[in-house]
Amino acid sequence: MKRIIALALLLTFISTSVMAAPLPKLRVGYVPEPAHGLYFVAKEKGYFKEEGVDVELFQFGSASEGMAALKAEKLDIGTFGTTAPLLFISKGSDFTFFGGMMIGGQAIITRPEKLAELSGKDLKVYKGKKIGLVKLSTGDVVFKGALKKAGIDYKKDLTFVELGSAAAVVEAVKKGSVDAGLVWPPHFSLAEKNSGLKVAHYIEEFYPKYTCCRIVAPTDKLNADKKTYKKFLAALIRAYKFYRTNQEETVQIYTNSLKIDEDIVRNETYTKKVAESNPDPLRKGILDFWQHILDAGYIPQDYPVDKHINTDIYKQALDSVIKKNPKDKIYQEMLTFYKKNN
């Protein structure tokens, strides 16, 4: 009898210990943009914990600071655009893209009196125009990519004015020193609301599903603990479904987390759908993006960035979520999207 009691006590102790075992931790850095909201949804709705990972979110004031923190191993994951991780990788930093956060989102703004001149569905309207931009921003890279795809020699046919920030681009458009400017969320909404400017086009109209804001991790960490990173992505996949099916609550979560005007968040996220929050790694988009950077002459030498893209972890995460929800239409859509873009 004593033995049975001892065994029962031992089992109780073991099960308690297992239950009390802390979840693996991931420190995740991001910059404050509305389309990064899946992190807040996953956190708020408890998806990270349900999937078995303890995520701590850290907001950064600039992509370069965030990337430096990732490099210094102060973070396990970073979401700092596409350009910044590519630049770091090309210079030898061993990071791997393994997920995504935002697709699209870049807009071309102009003054109301210029709107008619820049209307239509053809990029040729920008020929001969002076465009303000932030060098190497997603808008800069993908707009040049779109022009190239449209057969326009942007080095000859357009003039680009490089400015230091999105705010400087808005200012240049406002005072007329450029015909149009390339900015990202929420700057174009703010420019419309506060400065009376207009969105002439969203770049997505010419270049569908281009990448913005990828999720990266130090390669050694990712490879050493793929299970935890898979759980992290599974939580984001579930957050994506929530974002698709619970609009009002998502707007509230995004607004409260980022302290951005609620109307702007609603407008960008659902009304105009200028950017999509999507955790797909979008491998093909990353490779395209890199090629556009090379074409623009920003980096003097090529580098096989494909070695730094891991799509398997995302696929495994998606499979695990589908396994639990085999008939869910949104997860099936994500699978189709994955197959097309990776």
Partner 1 sequence: MKAVILLLTIMLFSVGNGTSYADSPLRVGYLVQAKEDLSAIADRTGTFSEEGLAVKRIGYRDAGKGIQALQSGTIDIGIFPARESLRAIASGKRLHIIAGGQAPREVSPLNELAEVIADADAGTSFVTVIRYQRNGLAKPLLVRFTAALISAYRNHRLAAVGQEHSSQQSYDPNPGYWRLERIWRSSGLQKRSMKRDYLSRHVYEEIYCDALDSLLDRSEDPIYKELAATAVCVPDCCPKDKKKS
Told to check if 291 binds partner 1 by CB under 8 A, we report: no
Minimum gap (Å) between residue 93 Cβ and partner 1:
5
Minimum gap (Å) between residue 196 Cβ and partner 1:
20
**Strand ranges inside the chain, DSSP E:** 25-30, 54-59, 77-79, 95-104, 107-110, 130-134, 159-163, 180-183, 198-202, 211-218, 275-277
Alpha-carbon span 159 to 165, nearest angstrom = 18
Alpha-carbon span 341 to 333, nearest angstrom = 12
**Distance (Å) of CA 160 to CA 9, 37, 126:** 73, 31, 11
Told to check if 137 binds partner 1 by CB under 8 A, we report: yes
Query: Residue from 4, 151, 301, 339 that binds partner 1 (CB under 8 A)?
Result: 301
- Tokens of residue 20, six digits: 């009390």
Within 13 Å of residue 253, how many CA atoms lie on the same side as its CB?
Answer: 21
Which DSSP string do the residues of 306-318 spell out, in sequence order? GGGB--HHHHHHH
By beta-carbon proximity to partner 1, the closer residue of 197 and 318 is 197
How many helices (H) and strands (E) would you count in the chain? Answer: 16, 11
Minimum gap (Å) between residue 315 Cβ and partner 1:
27
Alpha-carbon span 105 to 212, nearest angstrom = 8
By beta-carbon proximity to partner 1, the closer residue of 65 and 261 is 65
Told to check if 120 binds partner 1 by CB under 8 A, we report: no
Alpha-carbon span 187 to 264, nearest angstrom = 10
Minimum gap (Å) between residue 29 Cβ and partner 1:
8
Scanning 82-90, 237-245, 284-292, 326-334 for contacts with partner 1 by CB under 8 A, the matching segment is 82-90
By beta-carbon proximity to partner 1, the closer residue of 265 and 318 is 265
By beta-carbon proximity to partner 1, the closer residue of 251 and 253 is 253
Task: Give the three-state DSSP class for 52.
Answer: coil
What is the dihedral angle through the alpha carbons of 151, 152, 153, 157, rounded to the nearest 10 degrees?
Answer: 160
By beta-carbon proximity to partner 1, the closer residue of 210 and 338 is 210
Angle at 96 (CA atoms; ends 93, 101), nearest 5 degrees: 120
By beta-carbon proximity to partner 1, the closer residue of 132 and 279 is 132
Q: Rule CB under 8 A: which of 153-212 touch partner 1?
A: 162, 164-167, 184
Query: Residue from 294, 298, 320, 332 that binds partner 1 (CB under 8 A)?
Result: 298
Scanning 13-21, 194-202, 226-234, 292-300 for contacts with partner 1 by CB under 8 A, the matching segment is 292-300
Candidates 95, 103, 35, 37; CA nearest to 71 is: 95
By beta-carbon proximity to partner 1, the closer residue of 94 and 225 is 94
Scanning 14-22, 55-63, 222-230, 312-320 for contacts with partner 1 by CB under 8 A, the matching segment is 55-63
Told to check if 87 binds partner 1 by CB under 8 A, we report: yes
By beta-carbon proximity to partner 1, the closer residue of 82 and 311 is 82
Total residues at interface with partner 1 (CB under 8 A): 48
Which DSSP string do the residues of 232-293 spell out, in sequence order? HHHHHHHHHHHHHH-HHHHHHHHHHHHT--HHHHHIIIIIS--EEE-----HHHHHHHHHHH
By beta-carbon proximity to partner 1, the closer residue of 162 and 261 is 162
Q: Which residues bind partner 1 (CB under 8 A)?
A: 29, 31-33, 40, 43, 56-65, 67-69, 71-72, 74, 80-81, 83-84, 87-88, 91-94, 134-137, 140, 162, 164-167, 184, 257, 298-301
